[in-house]
Amino acid sequence: MFEMCADPKVLAGLDWFACYLTTPKHFQFYFSFLVVLTLIFITAPIVLALGFLGAFARRAAFAPLRLVGHAYTSMVRGVPDIVFFLFVPIALDQALEYVRHRVLCPEVTEPVYRGNDFVVCAAAKLPLSSAPQWIHEVYGFVLAIIAFSVVFGAFAANTIDGALSAVPRAQLETARAYGMTERQTFRRIHLPQMWVYALPGLSNLWMILIKATPLLFLLGITDIVYWARELGGSKTSFFEYPHPDWRVWYFLALLAFYLLLTWLSEKGFAWLNVRVRRGQATIGAEVAGVGR
């Protein structure tokens, strides 16, 4: 990046560190922090949407739909997260390639499952082998978002379902007595009151989502954990910037990043709690002094 970095062997002190910390690999390390934040802020609204869909399915009058809602939330909550994080991308990837194989290569009659191998024609591969590297990376990242959304959506559904049930029925009956329709009752009374009970659980789920992002490393994505291990490991004289094992310093940087992120999240949810309790005649609001 700097002209003085042309020959790292003649550098020393701050100049050496300035050049070392501005290598292309370090910029990929810095970019990986953005990857983690992108995953969180894309996944969170999808999780919330799946949470509402799952909660509504659990409360549906139509029995098959109610069964699907209970099956989804119970199955995901009852299986270790790591299993779904690894299963969903593999299963979805193979399902898409299988469909493409049947559509694009009808002349191939051999089975796609051959012992331990899953073999499809070249045209059915996702992404295509000729695709640029960034497409492969985006495709893997999208699969990771889907995996995170499926897992955390089940927990969000259970939280929202419990929050909807916690709203006092007397308030809903009073709204109906005043002539509100079911839709108006839900939009004006049920949903606003629900957030009071849902936010504590959703805030915990948000924190767990943040702490689960290092699992990107297990999904083959070069995230901050990968680069911390890669850059922090000892480098011999064969490398441009040889150094001893510095992984502890890189992982301390990750520690500071996650602590800062969770601290900001706590402040944000504390503000949201005050907002949703404003004007609410609940015990929590009276304790907070904002329901008077």
Question: Where along the chain do its domains lie?
Answer: 3-288
SS3 labels along 109-131:
CCCCEECCEECCCHHHCCCCCCC
| Third-level CATH fold of 3-288 | MetI-like fold (1.10.3720)
Question: What is the value of pTM for the model shown?
Answer: 0.83
For position 2, what pLDDT does the model report? Answer: 67
Total length of the chain:
292
Picking from 89, 99, 91, the residue whose alpha carbon sits closest to that of residue 120 is: 99
**pLDDT value at position 290?**
46
Give the chain's residues under pLDDT 70. 1-3, 11, 279-292
Q: 185 Cβ partners below 8 Å, 6+ apart?
A: 172, 175, 176
Residue-level pLDDT at 197: 92
Q: What Å distances lie between residue 33 and 130, 227, 261, CA to CA? A: 28, 10, 11
**CA distance linking residue 223 with residue 208, whole number of Å:** 17
pLDDT given for residue 292 in this prediction: 42
Q: Around Cβ 55, how many Cβ atoms within 10 Å? A: 24
